Amino acid sequence: MNEKKKVSSLTELPHGILEAAYKSGIDAREEERSGTYMYVDHSRVLSHINERFKGKLELLDTTEALKKYSWLEDYYWGLIDADKDEYTRRVDEKFGGYFLRILPGAKIEFPLQSCLMISSSGMEQRVHNIVIAEEGSEARVITGCTTHPDAKSGQHIGVSEFYIKKGARFNYTMIHNWGEDTLVRPRSVARLEDNSTFISNYVLLQPVKDLQMYPRVLCEGENATAGLNSIVYASRGSGVDIGSGIEFNAPGCRGEIISRVIALEGSRVTARGIIKGNTSPAKGHLECKGILLDDSSIIHAIPELVGARKDVDLSHEAAVGRIAEKEIIYLMSRGLSRDDATSIIVKGFLDVDILGLPEDLQRAVREILDKMAAGM
Amino acid sequence: MNTLEIENLSVEVGGKKILKDITLHLPGGETMVFFGPNGSGKTTLMLTIAGMPEYKVTDGKIVFNGEDITSMKVDERAKRGLGVGFQLPPEIIGVKLRDMVKICGGKNPREDLTREESELIERFNLGDFINRDLNSGFSGGERKRAEMLQLLAMKPVMLLLDEPDSGVDVGSLRLVGRELQNYLDSSGASALIITHHGNILEHIKAETACVMMDGRIWCRGDPGEIYDNILEKGYRGCVECEIRHPGEGL
Ligand SMILES: Nc1ncnc2c1ncn2[C@@H]1O[C@H](COP(=O)(O)OP(=O)(O)OP(=O)(O)O)[C@@H](O)[C@H]1O
Ligand SMILES: [Mg+2]
């Protein structure tokens, strides 16, 4: 697909694209979605909000939104320095991406789905997303980032800025499904106001050549809550350096980081995590667990805690190693072969339950896990 | 059918000889109870029968239904109908009790529970536990119930139960005992049960009992009689016991 024709529903898209989108968690029927945003290479092909959510949320191209709202200037590059690194600089030059705004008090029960796709080899995709969850709003977004099956290589650079206003609840789930030869550089920061909650889930199940990201959550408002979960299955020589960071800058904040990593087939994974308690009281926990399935891979876990007040309560738990033999034997005593037992434990370890996803998405992610485990 | 013959079995664990020259015959459909002091080798014997890899058979053999299973892998033994209920089952993160019920029934864990399986879960009062990670945060007694539930879902022809009654309250013991005996009656399965308490004998019909001491089978006889003797004189009494005839009929 060379010409990026705009369409009005996902089902009008070519089959290859839909198939790839599905693998990153996108539901083509759109029935249980409040809206869909689809971005292929540099252009939007679909931006569509379900009839019943009109007036509750707004979805525009970021460039369009910047023209429409002058106040958006304060938000644009408001959390990330455009000059941070070569990737942010590239996005600053030229970009696509979406602006999403959940209007004050709006409760949106179905997730909004967005799909960012690289359609041809060698393409460099740059996006800048701005999300504003206005006061008292509640919403969820699923972002599937994927490569068209025909595109083996490519680059994805994505800047995302999240503004979670007072009392808002926002749940963001990102599923990556890149071609093996893709370079991926997401850059995201979220800013949380009083009594707001931000949950961010990250799922990576397919091999990727080089992915580096370290999203941050700044708890600037009192009693803000942050939860950052990631599930990574790094296979076929993947190079992954991911982390999650939370900063407590107001009293009464809580945060949790959970990361589960499986590495095999010559993959290298660095799993970072940092929680900074600059104010108190504050409570944070970091869990970082990794399983190595062979001797050719490396998991480097780097959990960090920084406390700057005596009343902070920060803890971490990190473990890297093999699957417990005791668990394998136990399952074998129930009649499973060693391979089946291993695959059940791996799937359990990457249990998507911890993400608190909507049921249909949970099912979709499970299906991906099952397929993957079948070929393990 | 469902017979177990163990001949002159010696077993090492971690380079240490634990079981010494054990000979034992369990006829099909019978239940045998094992008593013995802590560390006497009861669990070792059971896990050796089940095929746990760290238990090295240095001598002798294990024959199940006429087939020599001495060097068979754990899963192959399970497929032949051996079901083990562990003394200390592990926690497995992300694997739900519900998944285990399916797995034990030889099915895909993602399949829905059948009515029969749901009823079994209800009978074990484990409805609230099925969506929890296996054994994670389960109390001692809950673990035992979960073990028994899984075993009955497996429908084994021979049950190896390691202290199914330890840490189990009176009501749960009655429940577990009744379910177990019903299963044994209806299936014709055999069972080997390790216990420290005679209470389970109130719910289970056992043909014989053995006392293990220091890696050997010390004596064998009527379960009630042996238990009463242990209660009265302790295992010390077994050491001094005069009615014991080593090697007799074992
Ligand atoms: N993996 C092991 N490494 C070293 N020694 C072991 C191992 N497993 C068991 N043993 C030893 O073997 C002996 C028998 O242990 P076993 O667990 O069979 O006893 P038991 O009769 O089941 O005791 P209990 O009533 O306390 O459950 C003990 O001395 C124990 O320490
Ligand atoms: Mg024992």
The 10s digit of each residue's pLDDT in B85-112 is 999 999 998 899 999 999 999 998 889 9
B89 touches chain A (CB under 8 A): yes
Provide the pLDDT for residue A356: 72
Cα(B12)–Cα(A327) distance, integer angstroms: 22
Cα(A57)–Cα(A65) distance, integer angstroms: 13
What number of C-beta contacts closer than 8 Å exist between A and B?
Answer: 67
> pLDDT (tens digit, 9 = 90+) per residue, B172-217?
999 999 999 999 999 999 999 999 988 888 999 999 999 999 999 9
Cα(B105)–Cα(B103) distance, integer angstroms: 5
Provide the pLDDT for residue A362: 78
A371 touches chain B (CB under 8 A): no
Q: What is the mean pLDDT of residues A330-344?
A: 95
ipTM of the complex: 0.94
Q: CB A349 to CB B150 under 8 A? A: no
Q: What is the mean pLDDT of residues B126-155?
A: 94
CA distances from B23 to B19, B59, B62, B217, B241 (A): 11, 11, 9, 8, 20
Residues with CB under 6 A from ligand 1: B 13-14, 16, 18, 36, 38-44, 54, 87
Residue of chain A whose Cα is closest to the Cα of B147: A334
Ligand 2 center to B162 CA (angstroms): 7
- CA distance to partner chain B, nearest, from residue A300 (Å): 21
Q: Report which bound ligand comes closest to the CA of B44.
A: 1
Q: Who contacts A374 (Cβ-Cβ below 8 Å, separation ≥6)? A: none
Cα(B84)–Cα(B103) distance, integer angstroms: 14
A332 vs B75, B90, B106: nearest CB = B75
Provide the pLDDT for residue A3: 46
Provide the pLDDT for residue B173: 92
Q: What angle do CA B232, B233, B236 make, to 5 degrees?
A: 155
B72 touches chain A (CB under 8 A): no
> pLDDT (tens digit, 9 = 90+) per residue, A31-62?
778 888 888 888 888 888 888 888 999 999 99
Provide the pLDDT for residue A9: 77
Provide the pLDDT for residue A20: 76
CA distances from A240 to A69, A182, A206, A243, A264 (A): 37, 11, 11, 10, 12
Provide the pLDDT for residue B243: 61
Confidence of residue B2 (pLDDT cuts 50, 70, 90): confident
Cα(A115)–Cα(A16) distance, integer angstroms: 14
Q: Where are the beta strands (DSSP E) in A148-252?
A: 153-164, 169-177, 181-192, 197-204, 210-213, 216-219, 225-234, 239-248
Does residue A269 register a pLDDT over 70?
A: yes
Does residue B122 register a pLDDT over 80?
A: yes
B112 touches chain A (CB under 8 A): no
Ligand 1 center to B40 CA (angstroms): 7
- CA distance to partner chain A, nearest, from residue B51 (Å): 8
- CA distance to partner chain A, nearest, from residue B150 (Å): 8
The pTM (predicted TM-score) of the whole model is 0.85
Does residue A305 register a pLDDT over 80?
A: yes
- Interface probe with B: pick from A287, A328, A334, A365, most Cβ of B within 10 Å: A334
Report the range of poorest mean pLDDT among A16-25, A160-169, B11-20: A16-25
Q: Which of A155, A222, A158, A216 is nearest to A191 (CA)?
A: A216
Provide the pLDDT for residue A193: 98
> pLDDT (tens digit, 9 = 90+) per residue, A82-96?
999 999 999 999 889
A228 touches chain B (CB under 8 A): no
Provide the pLDDT for residue A256: 97
> pLDDT (tens digit, 9 = 90+) per residue, A167-213?
999 999 998 988 889 999 999 999 999 999 999 999 998 899 999 99
Looking only at the bridges linking them, the beta strands covering A138-147 and A169-177 are parallel
Residue of chain B whose Cα is closest to the Cα of A366: B110
At residue B231, what is the residue type? L
Report the range of poorest mean pLDDT among A225-229, A249-253, B77-81, B137-141: B137-141
Q: Who contacts B109 (Cβ-Cβ below 8 Å, separation ≥6)? A: A344, B95, B96, B98, B99, B100, B102, B103
Q: Which of A264, A159, A246 is nearest to A205 (CA)?
A: A264
Provide the pLDDT for residue B242: 61
Q: What is the mean pLDDT of residues A320-341?
A: 95
Q: Who contacts A26 (Cβ-Cβ below 8 Å, separation ≥6)? A: A10, A36, A113, A115, A142, A144
Q: Report which bound ligand comes closest to the CA of B42.
A: 1
